[in-house]
Chain A
Amino acid sequence: MEPIVETRNLRVEFRAQNSGQAKKVAVKDLNLRICGGEVFGFLGPNGAGKTTTMNVLLGFVNATSGAAFLFGVDVREPIARQRIGYLPELTYYYKFLTAEELLRFYARIFGIPRLEADRRIEQLLKLVELDSARKRPIKTYSKGMQQRVGLAQALINNPDLLILDEPTSGLDPLGRMKVREIIQRLKNEGRTVFFSSHELGEVETVCDRVAIINQGELKVEGRVADLVERHQANLERIFLDIIGYQPEPSA
């Protein structure tokens, strides 16, 4: 089966800030294969290399060595991003536009015909419950509303692959549940979802497979149920063990 997301010996190094320091290796020879219809959780502590890996997949950062592919197309080709939706960790949108204008702008970028774009905008604004605020500038939205606009823009091209960078970060429990529902719905529709999160309970609920990376290295990868069975612990415990967390002895 052709993988939807694939990295082969992916390595990303950043130049040292000071001349005396060594290069910082953000991702070390990462090999990932995500197949169609999977919900894949990408876990790791802060600074582990999750966002850097996503940045390579999205073409924001060039790999130092190795390669990455989306739908079998090298990520350096812009066309590789035609069938993906991306939701960044925080909301970054043109605040002087309304939600409707923002979605129309992205629809135009994807070359979606006007009538079809109208239909999708209508559908998505209803899905993310922003129908009543569609004519208001984004700068007047709350954080949760902005995150929902983000989700709508990520879905405007009806993507086959959704890349979500900590999609529930900063959301209230209701917002989190809504995002989870949408991920579940996409999974049922056979879409592939690749997402990073610190919410391990959430990952356990929605993911088919997970990968845990630490200091740029892939530490473990597999089906959630298999990992839980193998380690005889929940995902949080597995995660903490893998990153080498030692609880301080109580006084």
Chain B
Amino acid sequence: MNTIFALTSVVIKELCRRKDFYVLFFLTAVLTLLMGSVNFFEDTRAVRYVKEIALLLIWVSALVIAIATTARQIPAERENRTIFPLLAKPVTRAQVILGKFLGCWLACGLALVVFYLFFGVVSGSREHSWPVLNLVQALWLQWAMLGIVVALVLLGSLVFAAPSSNATICFIVVLGILLLGRHLNQVALQQPEPLRSIVYGLYFLIPHLEWYDVRDIIIYDHNLIGWLDCALATLYAAVYAALLLFGAWLLFRRKALHL
């Protein structure tokens, strides 16, 4: 575990020393504060729209951070040849995969905590209510979802040669699942065979990232989701992430180290 944690700490340091996170946080903060400061005809419902837009920005920013950070990890190790002194130590390729995954996932978690803290303070100061548990649930589920995304991008970085193409493809896939994933079963019903079976198969194969989008419990002050449901969703994410990481390890095991 020592090796995995050492690799993890390097990934987190890298994120802290790059500008990506700060730029995204600054943009989200500025847009949220600007919208929050505007008073639309004394309409109290306007706060909801501000919350909706701020949460959307947080979702997009978190996805960008997760995908951009993860996509460059292994290609950068190979391109800069830092992988050579690393694997010349008693480090296995499985540990490299796990260290990179954990580092990117924890870095995303840290970024989410900063985003949600900011969001909580801004919305709390406007509404004078502090739904801390709703925020914690939304943050946790989003973080669990990012675990799947990070594992998917890590796998992609071993399939696609360039980090940019991997990031673009993964972003499209994730966005596709988030927007269309829940409708695939209905689409399947309208298709003739064998397309119906294929689309159904796809519906059961893809990780349903949209299940983790619980922004409504914050925007509309809905009741909390059952904690058991949260635990099951976390387990579902863990299984998918583990499967994707296993695939990444299988590919990395046979991969030539130089580009």
A and B interact: yes
A interface with B by C-beta (< 8 Å): 58-60, 78-79, 81-82, 84, 86, 88, 90, 92-97, 101, 105-106, 108-111, 150, 153-154, 157, 163
Which B residues lie within 8 Å of A79 (CB)?
Answer: 90
The segment from B9-17, B111-119, B157-165, B223-231 that touches chain A is B9-17
Binary interface encoding of chain B residues 205-243 relative to chain A, with 1 for a CB under 8 A from any of its CBs, else 0: 000000000000000000000000000000000000000
Which A residues lie within 8 Å of B86 (CB)?
Answer: 109
| Contacts known (A60-B257, A108-B2, A110-B90); A97 close to B85, Cβ less than 8 A | no
CB pair A153–B2 under 8 Å, yes or no, is no
Which A residues lie within 8 Å of B85 (CB)?
Answer: 86, 88, 92-93, 106, 150, 153-154
**Contacts A/B (CB < 8 Å), 15 sampled:** A58-B88, A60-B84, A60-B88, A78-B90, A78-B92, A88-B85, A92-B82, A93-B82, A93-B85, A94-B14, A96-B17, A108-B6, A109-B86, A110-B90, A154-B85
- B126 at the A/B interface (Cβ < 8 Å)? no
The CA-CA distance from A90 to B13 in the complex, in Å, is: 24
- B183 at the A/B interface (Cβ < 8 Å)? no
Count B-side interface residues using an 8 Å CB cutoff: 23
Distance of A242 from chain B, by nearest CB (Å): 28
Distance of A62 from chain B, by nearest CB (Å): 9
CB pair B88–A84 under 8 Å, yes or no, is yes
CB pair B10–A105 under 8 Å, yes or no, is yes
| Contacts known (A105-B9, A108-B5); A94 close to B82, Cβ less than 8 A | yes
CB pair A92–B88 under 8 Å, yes or no, is no
The CA-CA distance from A153 to B84 in the complex, in Å, is: 12
CB pair B90–A101 under 8 Å, yes or no, is no
Binary interface encoding of chain B residues 1-27 relative to chain A, with 1 for a CB under 8 A from any of its CBs, else 0: 011011001100110011000000000
Which A residues lie within 8 Å of B3 (CB)?
Answer: 108-109
Distance of A105 from chain B, by nearest CB (Å): 6
CB pair A109–B87 under 8 Å, yes or no, is no
Out of A92, A106, A108, name the residue touching B84 (CB < 8 Å).
A92
- B89 at the A/B interface (Cβ < 8 Å)? yes
Q: Which of B84-106 contact A (CB under 8 A)?
A: 84-92
CB pair B81–A105 under 8 Å, yes or no, is no
Which A residues lie within 8 Å of B14 (CB)?
Answer: 94, 96
Which B residues lie within 8 Å of A90 (CB)?
Answer: 81
- B191 at the A/B interface (Cβ < 8 Å)? no
Distance of A136 from chain B, by nearest CB (Å): 13
CB pair B2–A92 under 8 Å, yes or no, is no
Distance of B97 from chain A, by nearest CB (Å): 14
Which A residues lie within 8 Å of B88 (CB)?
Answer: 58-60, 81, 84, 86, 88, 163
The CA-CA distance from A58 to B3 in the complex, in Å, is: 18
Out of B10, B84, B91, name the residue touching A88 (CB < 8 Å).
B84
Which B residues lie within 8 Å of A105 (CB)?
Answer: 6, 9-10
Distance of A224 from chain B, by nearest CB (Å): 27
Out of B5, B6, B81, B87, name the residue touching A59 (CB < 8 Å).
B87
Out of A60, A93, A106, name the residue touching B89 (CB < 8 Å).
A106
Distance of A38 from chain B, by nearest CB (Å): 20
The CA-CA distance from A242 to B13 in the complex, in Å, is: 50
- Return the chain A residue nearest B258 by Cβ: A60
| Contacts known (A90-B81, A109-B2, A109-B6); A58 close to B87, Cβ less than 8 A | yes
Known: A78-B91, A105-B10. 12 other contacts (CB 8 A): A59-B87, A60-B84, A60-B87, A60-B88, A60-B257, A88-B81, A88-B88, A92-B81, A94-B10, A96-B18, A97-B13, A105-B9
